[in-house]
Amino acid sequence: MADHDVDLFVIGAGSGGVRAARIASSYGAKVMAAEEFRVGGTCVIRGCVPKKLLVYAARFAHDFEDAKGFGWSAEPTFSWQTLIANKDREITRLEAAYSSTLERFKVQVVKTRAVIEDAHTVRLATGARVHAETILIATGGWPHMGPNIPGIEHAISSNEALDLRELPKRILIQGGGYIALEFACIFAGLGSKVTVVYRGENILRGFDDDIREHLRSEMQARGITVTCGQTVDAIEQAGDEYRTTLSDGSTVAVDKVMFAIGRRPNIMGLGCENVGLSCHEHGGIEVDEYSRTSVPNIYAVGDVTNRVNLTPVAIREGHAFADTLYGGKPTKVDHANVPTAVFTEPELGVIGLTEAQAREQYPIVDVYKTSFRSMKMVLAGRATRCFMKLLVDGTTDKVVGCHIAGPEAGEMIQLVGVAFRMGATKADFDATMAVHPTIAEELVTMREKAFSYGRDARK
C-alpha cells in the first residue's frame, strides 16, 4: 500500500463515480477522483435532471389549455431565458451538493482531466502523476453525431440543447430514440415547430411495437412531424436559418438542427490502449460481473461499459464495486428487468419483455392491453389516450412485460418494478384491490386477454 498515493483513483465524478468514491471511502479507502468538467456528471449537469426540468416546463402548456375545461381562464406567457436561468441555478446547487458530499466523505477531487498511463498510474492534465492501487473508470457516454455530412458543424447535440440562448421557432431533430423524442416533446410543448427525422421504420427501436405506434400517433396529434425511413444528408446555413436536405432529396428549413442519434462510451483519449483494456465493438469497456476489466486492478462502471445505460444502474454498479472491493461483500448487479421511463408526451414506463421478445422466449404468451381517455382528458376535451399492456407467460402465469403510456407512467413503473422483482403473476395483479378513480387501476383490472398464442402462432 505504501507504494501507492491512493487506494482508489476514480476517473469521472458522475453518478457512478461519485457513489463508488464515497462508499469506498466510507469503508476506509483513501480515494481521489478526477473530473474535467463539473461534479455530478451527465445526469446532473447535462442530462436527466436539467432535461426533466424542461419537461415540466413544456407540460404547463397542456395544463393551461386543459384548465379551460375545468372552469379556469388564463393567458399565460413563457420566457425561455427565465427557464434556463432557473435551471442553471438548480444545477449549480446540485453540483455543490455533490461536491459537499465527496468532501464530507474525505474524497479528494481534482478538477482536471486524467489519463491512464499504466496499470497503476494516472497522469493529470497538470502534469502530475498519481499512483493508485485500483483505478475505476466512470467517464460515462458522449453524444454521437454520426457520419461527417456536409454542414454537420451546424448541428447541436443534447448538450447544447439545454443551453440555447433562445427558443428556436423551428427545429429539426434527427433520431428516434428516447433522447430525440423527449427533446422533440419539450420543444413542441414550449411552442417550437418540431420535425423528427429517423432512419428506421418507426421510432423507439427496441421498445414494444404497440408503445412505439401509440407514442408516434400522440406526437403527431400534437403537431410534431415524424418522418421515418429518412436521414439528414446535408445542412446548409442560409442567413439566420438552416436548410436541411433529407435522403429523399426534400428540404426542410429550420432555425436549429439537433442530432440525437445515440451516445457512445466516453473513452477517447482515456489511455485504454496504454494498458491494453479490452473493448467491445461498440466501444464499451469489457467488464465481468464485478465490473472488473481485462486489467485486474482496473474497473469500470456506468455508461462507459455500455451495459444498461441508465443513471440508477451506474449508481448501483458503483455501489456494488465499492462493496465488493472495500466492504468485504462481493456484489453482482442484476441487469435484468430494469424499469425505465421515457419523458415524452405522453410519458412512457416500461419493464420486462416486449411482445416480440416474449413470443421468442415463451411457448405460450397471453397479452392484455387497454386504451382509454382519462377522466381529466374527457373534461379537458382532448382526444389523447392512455395505453397499458401486460405480457404474461401463459404456462406459469408470471407477468413478464409491462408497458404504460400516460401521465406519471414513470412513477407507476417504479412500483411495478417491485412486483416484477418478486415474481408477481397475473393472478397477483388481479387480486390487488384497485385504487379508484386512477389511471393506474387499469393495471389490476384488465381481465380479458387481447389474444393468446403459442410460439409459432400468429395474431
Contact in structure between 313 and 378 (CB atoms under 8 Å): no
The reported pLDDT for the residue numbered 281 is 79
Catalytic residue among 4, 120, 144, 436: 436
Between CA 136 and CA 302 the distance in angstroms is 11
Q: Is the pLDDT of residue 455 over 80?
A: no
The CATH number, out of the four listed (3.40.50.40, 3.30.390.30, 3.40.50.920, 3.40.50.2000), of the domain defined by the range 340-451: 3.30.390.30
Domain locations along the chain: 6-143+264-326, 152-260, 340-451
Between CA 402 and CA 68 the distance in angstroms is 33
H or E segment to which residue 51 belongs = helix 48-67
How much is the average pLDDT of 357-373?
Answer: 96
Task: With CA atoms as reference, report the closest residue to 350 among 394, 407, 390.
Answer: 390
What is the percent of the chain where pLDDT is above 90?
Answer: 94
H or E segment to which residue 171 belongs = strand 170-174
Q: Is the pLDDT of residue 54 over 50?
A: yes
**How confident is residue 78, by pLDDT bands cut at 50, 70 and 90?**
very high
**How confident is residue 459, by pLDDT bands cut at 50, 70 and 90?**
very low
Q: Is the pLDDT of residue 377 over 60?
A: yes
The reported pLDDT for the residue numbered 176 is 97
Contact in structure between 244 and 254 (CB atoms under 8 Å): yes
What is the percent of the chain where pLDDT is above 70?
Answer: 98
Q: Is the pLDDT of residue 457 over 80?
A: no
Mean pLDDT (the chain) is 95
Between CA 385 and CA 16 the distance in angstroms is 37
Q: Is the pLDDT of residue 178 over 50?
A: yes
The reported pLDDT for the residue numbered 376 is 93
Domain 6-143+264-326 has CATH 3.10.110.10: no
How much is the average pLDDT of 122-151?
Answer: 95
Q: Is the pLDDT of residue 451 over 90?
A: no
Q: Is the pLDDT of residue 2 over 60?
A: no
* Distant-in-sequence, close-in-space partners of 221: CB < 8 Å, separation ≥ 6: 383, 384
The reported pLDDT for the residue numbered 259 is 97
| Placement of cell 400517433 in the chain | 217
Answer yes or no: 436 catalytic: yes
Tally the C-alpha atoms within 13 A of residue 118's C-alpha that lie toward its C-beta: 4
Q: What digits encode the pLDDT tens for the residues 387-429?
A: 999 999 999 999 999 999 999 999 999 999 999 999 999 999 9
Domain 152-260 superfamily per CATH: FAD/NAD(P)-binding domain (3.50.50.60)
Q: Is the pLDDT of residue 165 over 80?
A: yes
pTM given for the model: 0.94
Q: Cα dist. 425→43, 121, 185, 398, 421 in Å?
A: 34, 51, 35, 4, 11
Q: Same CATH topology for 6-143+264-326 and 340-451?
A: no
Q: Is the pLDDT of residue 129 over 80?
A: yes
Q: Is the pLDDT of residue 74 over 90?
A: no
Q: What digits encode the pLDDT tens for the residues 194-204?
A: 999 999 999 99
* Distant-in-sequence, close-in-space partners of 321: CB < 8 Å, separation ≥ 6: 20, 24, 136, 290, 291, 299, 301
Q: Cα dist. 201→171, 176, 204, 226, 302 in Å?
A: 21, 10, 10, 11, 30
How much is the average pLDDT of 14-25?
Answer: 96
Contact in structure between 167 and 196 (CB atoms under 8 Å): no
Q: What digits encode the pLDDT tens for the residues 266-325?
A: 999 999 999 999 998 778 999 999 999 999 999 999 999 999 999 999 999 999 999 999
